[in-house]
């Protein structure tokens, strides 16, 4: 099973859209077609679909309770819309490193907690119903904090601003209304 096919087969097309057929990279590297910017969130549109994306505003990395410096790739939180694949508001996260196998990560939106399943450097909710719950919380919230553990044992805590989230996801959904 490929990195992007964990949740369900249509996720594979979502990942191909966002990250190309090669190794995962950020949407900004694959697409320069930014169509809107809403405070902390940007909206991209391509022929296959649209997505809203934000970078972490703060990252804290710890090992054995001590803050450590680590090298990580892009740290991005996405909401994706691919009408041809019936993907409408799929939430995903990449932490810029391989997650610890067989673990989950915690996404906390102003204290409301959600569990994402991981594979490689990517994490998703388990279902479209869970996506809807996460998105509803993010629309009401001010910050999303994602806590995960790397394969090397480093615990990461990434904080994302939700300023502009509602406008960005509404714009992405409108542009890719199926």
Q: Where are the alpha helices (DSSP H) in 40-149?
A: 128-140
If one looks up domain 3-175 in CATH, what number appears?
2.60.40.1880
Split the chain (178 residues) into runs of 10 and give each run's mean pLDDT. 39 46 36 66 89 95 94 94 90 94 94 95 94 97 97 95 96 87
Using CA atoms, how far apart are residues 133 and 31, in angstroms rounded to an integer?
A: 28
5 three-state secondary structure = helix
Please classify residue 91 by burial: count the beta carbons closer than 10 Å to its beta carbon, then call 0-12 exposed, 13-18 middle and 19+ buried. buried
Using CA atoms, how far apart are residues 59 and 75, in angstroms rounded to an integer?
A: 9
Which 8-state DSSP code applies to residue 62?
A: E
Domain boundaries, given as residue ranges, for the chain: 3-175
Please classify residue 43 by burial: count the beta carbons closer than 10 Å to its beta carbon, then call 0-12 exposed, 13-18 middle and 19+ buried. buried
Q: What is the pTM of this model?
A: 0.82
Task: Give the pLDDT confidence score for residue 37 in this predicted structure.
Answer: 67
């Amino acid at each position: 099973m490929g990195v992007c096919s964990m949740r369900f087969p249509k996720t594979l097309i979502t990942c191909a859209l966002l990250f190309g057929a090669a190794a995962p990279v950020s949407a900004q590297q694959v697409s320069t077609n930014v169509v809107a910017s809403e405070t902390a969130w940007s909206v991209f549109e391509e022929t296959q679909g649209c997505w809203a994306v934000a970078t972490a505003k703060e990252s804290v990395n710890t090992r054995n309770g001590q803050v450590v410096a680590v090298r990580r790739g892009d740290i991005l939180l996405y909401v994706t819309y691919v009408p041809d694949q019936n993907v409408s508001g799929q939430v995903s996260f990449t932490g810029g490193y391989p997650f610890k196998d067989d673990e989950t990560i915690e996404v906390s939106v102003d204290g409301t907690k959600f569990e994402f399943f991981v594979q490689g450097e990517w994490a998703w909710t388990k279902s479209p119903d869970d996506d809807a719950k996460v998105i509803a919380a993010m629309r009401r919230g001010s910050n999303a904090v994602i806590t995960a553990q790397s394969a090397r044992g480093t615990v990461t805590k990434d904080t994302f601003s939700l300023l502009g989230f509602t406008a960005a996801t509404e714009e992405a959904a409108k542009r890719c209304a199926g």
